[in-house]
Structure 1
Amino acid sequence: MLTNEYVKRVYAQVERRDGDQPEFLQAVQEVLESLQPVVEKHPEYEKVGVLERLVEPERVVKFRVAWTDDEGKVQVNRGYRVQFNSAIGPYKGGLRFHPSVNEGVIKFLGFEQILKNSLTTLPMGGGKGGSDFDPKGRSDAEVMRFCQAFMTELCRHIGQFTDVPAGDINVGAREIGYLFGQYKRIRDEYSGVLTGKGLEFGGSLARTEATGYGLCYYTAEAMRVLRGDSFEGKTVVISGSGNVAIFATEKAQALGAKVVTASDSNGYVYDPNGIQLDVVKDIKLGHRGRIKEYAERVPGAEYHEGCAGVWTVPCDIALPCATQNEIDEASAEALVKNGCTVVCEGANMPSTPEAIAVYQKNGLLYGPAKAANAGGVAVSGLEMSQNSYRLSWTFEEVDAKLKSIMETIVADSLAAAKEYGHEGDLMLGANAAGFVKVANAMVAQGVL
């Protein structure tokens, strides 16, 4: 609930201006609610309009993407890049290619990215981009032509010292390669303008694994500090079957847990014996198949249509790794009823406000996305560093830095929560810790 008059005034302004962007409003309300004790302790933020500036992007770029499909027909999509806040570094955030992409979705993601990037302790501002293009069912040649058309416009607005995009949903190594190639062709320069690149042309080891591994490092550290517990012997439910879900499964299994689910947009599989990750990797990374195939190949596994049912599977730990708002109030209640005590988020904003209220009411350990899934952008930041130095670190070096960053995020979040009177609250702590660093930088740099 919003009670602080300054915070209420800022949120009312966002509602008036962006009332047609529900995802953005949801993200802003959640953050502003958490920040109330912070702004009450720091009245100087109101004097210089920090919150008013925080919720308004520095720049929104929207453009037409025209390309030709394999039948010779011209297709037209919309492209976006929201450059939200550059107070602590160049804009940094992924590109998402999905039919659900619109300005509000990109703004919510960019807004979350401000605090997420701040939490990593690396010098990166917040941004996000993408298109309503759907690569599913498209040939490699069509994806290449779309990416080239998209980058032809985007290249005007990005650069290694200005804005460094990465991948997100449906933007993996293939798409990043096509985007990077087109940027290089147009700008005639070889720079670290994109992260998530192939190892052959400036990518970082451990980047593919980073978000999933980082999620588990964060969860393990939060459980250790707050519960004196670990993954060992726990049953884990994971949604999704992309990079985040796959490598969260891999790391959770390595830490001694049994992961029993995987899902995609059509449905989910339940394997009581534990997910066979090599099968999932073959389906999703090998030939971009549907998760239903898992149940056809693995004896004892069950396939269920629809995604929401995955949260009815009994578990100790839930790691949502699919998409925003995938856990609603009913799903959260089902998790609690079936024994779940830990929810940490691998996707961006996968829990509705009502679901978060259920977690808090029932005393679950809840790790919010901007903290728990920061591993991906953390290693993107490390890739930027390697590109600047013109060198490569080993997998073990990058993985060790990632683990340290995720453990630091837990520590910083808990310290901030304690400072502002909400000891043990990882959500408030993450928002407060990320915000204060950005806010102080904004104050120091004047009214911009």
Structure 2
Amino acid sequence: MSEYFQSFIDYVAARNPNQAEFIQAVKEVSSDVIPYINEHAPELINLKLLERMVEPERTISFRVVWLDDNQQVQINRGYRVQMNSALGPYKGGLRFAPTVNLSVLKFLAFEQIFKNSLTGLPLGAGKGGADFNPKGRSDNEIMRFCQSFMTELYRHIGSDTDVPAGDIGVGQREIGYLFGQYKRLQNNFTGVLTGKGPAWGGSFMRPEATGFGLLYFVERMLYENGDSLKGKKVAISGAGNVAYYAALKAIALGAKVVTISNSNGTIYDESGFTLEKLDYVNSLNRNLEAYTARYAGEYHAGKKPWQFTCDIALPCATENELNEQDAELLLKNGCICIAEGANMPCTAEAVEAVLRSDMLYAPGKAANAGGVAVSGLEMSQNRLGQQWPADAVDNQLKKIMHDIHDTCVHYGKNKHGKINYLKGANIGGFIKVAEAMKSQGLV
């Protein structure tokens, strides 16, 4: 790596101490982007484009005070990281989880820059959330928390400023409570949040978008390499929205899904999941072991899905869930493709191991961009005062994912014809944002 790369990483690490996730994301992107800058656009070094890109335009932290069902005062910390607005209003999800901190949100917001750029839609990048755990809380507690959270957040967002969406711990229920409070405070029915219910300004296909988009990308990637999903054995981590719809689409495209998991363990069903089985998993409320009482399958407490033989691995749970040992085991067992349904679910060491092999690797900033793509389409529908039919949204989603794939191929293919999808996504996402920042001056 160049001297500029090392000095840049040292600079970022010094300015962001104890932010391991953020520094990991910056290293991954800059290891591809800096060689490209050195070769094709050295003038960007003096403009300090990357140095500006890693610095959030605005970081907001605030106190969230609310009353639980036992009339006890609870205090959480809320955040919004408004990372980059070169291409449009800040866009990115809200995450409610006890693991939320500034490092996690900055890594997610930084990744969002490139993901949103790749969609081709006019979207800036942001991320936010709180260290609030909705698990085990009543609907009334979640409503009170969301109302308190929005009472501070509302002054920082708007349909042309910052348009949050959902993420881990923030689904349609939470978006509804947040939107209701925004509307109460502003007396304004506007497209300030995406992921809304279809009856009140939401887009069809938004719940399915990330999982479906992931499979559209994988389908196109396999086609590019002379293969298809038909007959492939697929291992999926997670048991939430992304994993569910990824499994549904994989089955519809002719693959056999053999695992579903959560943080407690993994279900392995050698005969493959069906829609009926997946719906039953959804009804178990995290008690995956109960699956084996109804269906012929194995439950492995404390185990990840990556120990089982598969052709395609789809990590759809959370960051850094698939490590180097997992990657080596997948390679040993004949896996031909890892595609990320979550944000940065593979550790840096796992990615390095995969890139050294012949395995296909689809990074999250490309492969899981379907969620933000349909969020962008929801923003368009809100501005027009329209609601497009589900098949029209699905067709646009598929086109966007195929276009992202082709961008990755364009910037990631070497002279021998091998495609590095990570490199292609990083460079392809960077170029558009860099040009916009350069055009807009020193801001």
Aligned-residue offset at 1:289:
4.0
Q: How far apart, in 2, do the equivalents of 1:31 and 1:295 lie?
A: 42
Aligned to 1:34: 32
Q: Choose the corresponding residue for 1:303, options 299, 309, 315.
A: 299
The answer to whether the 8 Å contact 1:38/1:420 transfers is: no
Q: How far apart, in 2, do the equivalents of 1:281 and 1:24 lie?
A: 35
Q: How far apart, in 1, do the equivalents of 2:51 and 2:370 lie?
A: 28
The answer to whether the 8 Å contact 1:245/1:321 transfers is: yes
Aligned to 1:394: 389
Aligned-residue offset at 1:277:
3.2
The answer to whether the 8 Å contact 1:246/1:277 transfers is: no
Aligned-residue offset at 1:34:
1.1
Aligned to 1:95: 94
Offset from partner CA, 1:195-245 (integer Å, 9 cap, x none): 0000111000000000000000000101111x2101000000000011100
Give the structure-2-normalised TM-score.
Answer: 0.98
Q: How far apart, in 2, do the equivalents of 1:61 and 1:191 lie?
A: 22
The answer to whether the 8 Å contact 1:24/1:107 transfers is: yes
1:44-443 maps to which residues of 2 (within 5 A)? 44-225=43-224, 227-284=225-282, 286=283, 288-298=285-295, 300-308=296-304, 310-418=305-413, 423-443=418-438
Q: Within the alignment, does 1:14 sit opposite 2:12 as a pair?
A: yes
SS class of match (2:126): strand
Q: How far apart, in 1, do the equivalents of 2:252 and 2:24 lie?
A: 35
Offset from partner CA, 1:161-198 (integer Å, 9 cap, x none): 00000000011010000000000000110000000000
Aligned to 1:446: 441
The answer to whether the 8 Å contact 1:272/1:301 transfers is: yes
The answer to whether the 8 Å contact 1:119/1:430 transfers is: yes
Offset from partner CA, 1:290-342 (integer Å, 9 cap, x none): 322222221x211111143x101000000100000000011111111111010
Residue 410 of structure 2 aligns to which amino acid in structure 1? A
Residue 301 of structure 1 aligns to which amino acid in structure 2? G
The answer to whether the 8 Å contact 1:264/1:290 transfers is: no
Residue 66 of structure 2 aligns to which amino acid in structure 1? W
The answer to whether the 8 Å contact 2:251/2:274 transfers is: no
Would the alpha carbon gap of residues 240 and 392 (structure 1) be closer, same or farther in structure 2, given more than 3 Å must change? same
Aligned-residue offset at 1:11:
1.4
* Structure 2 stretches lacking a partner, 5+ long: none
SS class of match (2:377): helix
The answer to whether the 8 Å contact 1:238/1:262 transfers is: yes
Q: How far apart, in 2, do the equivalents of 1:293 and 1:81 lie?
A: 38
Q: How far apart, in 1, do the equivalents of 2:415 and 2:262 lie?
A: 39
Q: How far apart, in 1, do the equivalents of 2:415 and 2:133 lie?
A: 43
Offset from partner CA, 1:17-53 (integer Å, 9 cap, x none): 1120110010000000011222111011112110110
Residue 7 of structure 1 aligns to which amino acid in structure 2? F
Let me know the Cα RMSD of the aligned residues: 1.3
Q: How far apart, in 2, do the equivalents of 1:92 and 1:426 lie?
A: 24
The answer to whether the 8 Å contact 1:265/1:306 transfers is: yes
Moved more, 352-361 or 201-210: 352-361
The answer to whether the 8 Å contact 2:262/2:286 transfers is: no
Aligned-residue offset at 1:9:
2.0
Kindly report structure 1 stretches of 4+ aligned residues shifted beyond 6 Å.
419-422
Offset from partner CA, 1:101-133 (integer Å, 9 cap, x none): 000000000000000000000000110001110
Moved more, 41-50 or 412-421: 412-421
SS class of match (1:319): strand
Residue 229 of structure 2 aligns to which amino acid in structure 1? F
Q: How far apart, in 2, do the equivalents of 1:322 and 1:57 lie?
A: 26
SS class of match (2:156): coil
Residue 9 of structure 2 aligns to which amino acid in structure 1? Y
* Structure 1 stretches lacking a partner, 5+ long: none
SS class of match (1:124): coil
Q: How far apart, in 2, do the equivalents of 1:290 and 1:170 lie?
A: 18
Residue 439 of structure 1 aligns to which amino acid in structure 2? A
Residue 358 of structure 1 aligns to which amino acid in structure 2? A
Would the alpha carbon gap of residues 25 and 307 (structure 1) be closer, same or farther in structure 2, given more than 3 Å must change? farther
Residue 226 of structure 2 aligns to which amino acid in structure 1? G
SS class of match (1:100): coil
Q: How far apart, in 1, do the equivalents of 2:119 and 2:414 lie?
A: 19
Moved more, 170-179 or 36-45: 36-45
